[in-house]
A and B are shown apart, each in its own frame.
Chain A
């Protein structure tokens, strides 16, 4: 993992010192809220519905045991004993008081973390494939590049007052687990004639105007990455719309100007930026590649795994659902579900955090990941250790075997916490998970992603859920709109609206009708919900959702 240099540590300490002074002046009354608000947002501090919320960056979703323990310590000392992992691979604390935040930031600095650029119209925390450096299908680990982008974009003087926020995601695999086509810039490491480079995708995004990103360049040489990114952001910073917040994101700029015009503008700007990078970025990248070198794997028997797999059906179910192929023989990637049925998606208690930290330290080369799907990952675990890991997770409510299944729901905080929300998300997720657990159907249903957002800004990625749910305020009542057929992977697609919304009490039965219809419609047990939807289209699902309309027509 990357370790702070003296420069990094001094930079963070100075920022924290400044923010402590700003908080003091706000509390003393010498700064007004209008003056203070941009300063707190620069440091990740929001004021939400019931309290402040501190959003802490987990760089490209990677953290170690010490950092996870510190989250537990922060949760116990200054919050309510838990944290919320988000779809941006970050963690949010929902209940800090303003006067405690400087201490929290110092505690984060102690473990080389911060909350800078987790808000505001800046380049946000770069997100990455949560299986980076471990996945069997990977061309190269994207995290050294993600770290390079982080260092370039942090406090970048040209990019502190942009038209809107800007989000970059990166993957090193053909199979996209980082939703790169729904980011302002998506990067995919590609190989051409044995040389590594990047496919650069631009103009994706969800929110009010969902769009799938378009390829700006199919193969960008590695050494051109930063000057090219600088050119893209610079072009948008200049021509992006500042007259209308809803038209300010680069997806609208690309849409209005066309990808070819943007490509030409970027090429012209790149001719300038390329001159300004004298190759120092590549020497940094080489350092970061060393920092992210692969763990030393051991060659051990896997009998303990085989034995548990044959004898313990609970372990077997978890292994079948929550493990992913690792590139090293005898190893596996284990996903820890933060989606126990009926619990809040993405929440972990301090006690659970400490168990995950301990497992990473003892069995996982001290590495943890946060996925955009709001789960935690042990990326490098030996198969022989898995029975022990599973046993310890079971004791603390973290052994739910549901990764990729209907109860592995993404949900934004919604109106239970968020000041922007138009409806609640969390209770809908809780009820759907509880209902399908009661029906004992979720393993039969198989791979099915439900994603729930509590407003049009789409933090819950509802547009790219196989089933998307969007909570709205319709004449003073919570109303939930369903979209179908969305896809968050390399075959990314925006879901199609199914019809009128459902009330909070009718949305869960509607989802149940929809899923039962799928079970009737699928050609075989192997045909996923998304495959059935693609084969048959909206009509049969719509009929299941709105039986009264069908009765009317008959």
Chain B
């Protein structure tokens, strides 16, 4: 039996900083997962992935990542994606550093 389709977001790394980015509904890249557009339809997700992959001047390594719908937008379902959206656990670097200044 085919596995049921899980909602997805489009994610990549920014070309200059390497920071993790997510595709928003307006087709822009955001550093924040809660801004990501959740793609509930498989065919739509594939088309959006092709469009996003074409933006190779801004980002590297575009792919679809499984998510769950949370109260504040997309939530990762795998721990790797949790680390990607948060940053390393040994120092408050990366995205955590940014949040500390907010």
Known pairs A32-B56, A47-B60, A50-B94; A98 contacts B15 (CB<8 A):
yes
Q: Is the CB of A27 within 8 A of B15?
A: yes
Q: Say which one of A156-164, A175-183, A423-431, A512-520 lies at the interface with B.
A: A423-431
Q: Is the CB of A50 within 8 A of B79?
A: no
For B13, what are the chain A residues with a Cβ–Cβ distance below 8 Å?
Answer: 47
Give CA–CA (A51, B95) in the complex, Å: 11
- The answer to whether the Cβ of B16 comes within 8 Å of any Cβ in the partner chain is yes
Interface size class of A (residues with CB under 8 A): 20 to 34
For A48, what are the chain B residues with a Cβ–Cβ distance below 8 Å?
Answer: 18
Give CA–CA (A427, B91) in the complex, Å: 11
For A50, what are the chain B residues with a Cβ–Cβ distance below 8 Å?
Answer: 18-20, 84, 87-88, 93-95
Determine which of B80, B87, B89 lies in contact with A426 in the assembled complex, contact meaning CB atoms within 8 Å.
B89
Known pairs A50-B18, A97-B16; A427 contacts B89 (CB<8 A):
yes
Shortest distance between the CB of A523 and any CB in chain B (Å): 38
Shortest distance between the CB of B92 and any CB in chain A (Å): 10
For A351, what are the chain B residues with a Cβ–Cβ distance below 8 Å?
Answer: none
- The answer to whether the Cβ of B17 comes within 8 Å of any Cβ in the partner chain is yes
Q: Is the CB of B18 within 8 A of A47?
A: yes
- The answer to whether the Cβ of A478 comes within 8 Å of any Cβ in the partner chain is yes
Known pairs A50-B94, A80-B93, A427-B90; A415 contacts B83 (CB<8 A):
yes
Known pairs A27-B15, A97-B17, A476-B77; A430 contacts B90 (CB<8 A):
yes
Determine which of B19, B57, B61, B88 lies in contact with A417 in the assembled complex, contact meaning CB atoms within 8 Å.
B88
Known pairs A50-B84, A416-B89, A416-B90; A478 contacts B79 (CB<8 A):
yes
Interface string of A74-90 (1 = CB under 8 A from B): 00000010000000000
Determine which of B78, B84, B90 lies in contact with A49 in the assembled complex, contact meaning CB atoms within 8 Å.
B84
Q: Is the CB of B57 within 8 A of A29?
A: yes
Give CA–CA (A97, B94) in the complex, Å: 12
For B83, what are the chain A residues with a Cβ–Cβ distance below 8 Å?
Answer: 49, 415-416, 424
Q: How many residues of B contact A (CB 8 A)?
A: 25
Q: Is the CB of B16 within 8 A of A98?
A: yes
Chain B interface secondary structure, helix, strand, loop or mixed? loop
Task: Give B85's nearest chain A residue, CB to CB.
Answer: A50
Give CA–CA (A427, B19) in the complex, Å: 22
Shortest distance between the CB of A104 and any CB in chain B (Å): 14
Give CA–CA (A476, B79) in the complex, Å: 7
Shortest distance between the CB of B55 and any CB in chain A (Å): 10
Give CA–CA (A52, B56) in the complex, Å: 16
Interface string of A447-485 (1 = CB under 8 A from B): 000000000000000000000000001001110000000
Determine which of A27, A33, A344, A476 lies in contact with B16 in the assembled complex, contact meaning CB atoms within 8 Å.
A27
Shortest distance between the CB of B30 and any CB in chain A (Å): 15
Give CA–CA (A276, B87) in the complex, Å: 52
For A473, what are the chain B residues with a Cβ–Cβ distance below 8 Å?
Answer: 79-80
For A476, what are the chain B residues with a Cβ–Cβ distance below 8 Å?
Answer: 77-79
Task: Give B59's nearest chain A residue, CB to CB.
Answer: A33
Shortest distance between the CB of A328 and any CB in chain B (Å): 39
A-B contact pairs, 26 of them (CB 8 A): A33-B61, A47-B18, A47-B60, A47-B61, A48-B18, A49-B84, A50-B19, A50-B20, A50-B84, A50-B94, A50-B95, A51-B17, A51-B18, A95-B94, A97-B17, A98-B18, A99-B16, A415-B83, A416-B88, A416-B89, A424-B83, A426-B88, A430-B90, A476-B77, A476-B79, A477-B79
Binding site for B on A (CB under 8 A): 26-27, 29, 32-33, 47-52, 80, 94-95, 97-99, 344, 415-417, 424, 426-427, 430, 473, 476-478
